[in-house]
Amino acid sequence: MKDKYGLEKWTFEVKRRGKKGDPKTKYSILPDAQIDDAMRARIAAVGLHDLASIGASADGEDSPAPGGAAPAPPPAAAAAPATAPTIDENTARQLVDRLRPMPREVAHAFLAEFKVARIRDLPSAELPRALRFIEARQQPQERDPFEL
Q: What pLDDT is stored for residue 132 in this prediction? A: 93
Compute CA 100 distance to the chain's CA centroid, rounded to the nearest angstrom: 18
Give the whole-number percent of the chain exceeding pLDDT 90: 24
Q: Is 28 exposed, middle or buried (0-12, 13-18, 19+ CB in 10 A)?
A: exposed
What's the predicted TM-score (pTM) here? 0.42
For 108-132, how does the pLDDT look when each residue is reduced to its tens digit (9 = 90+)? Answer: 999 999 999 999 899 999 999 999 9
Residue 89 has pLDDT above 50, yes or no: yes
User: Is residue 56 within 8 Å of 80, Cβ to Cβ?
Assistant: no
> Which residue from 134, 141, 136 is spatially nearest to 97, judged by alpha carbons?
134
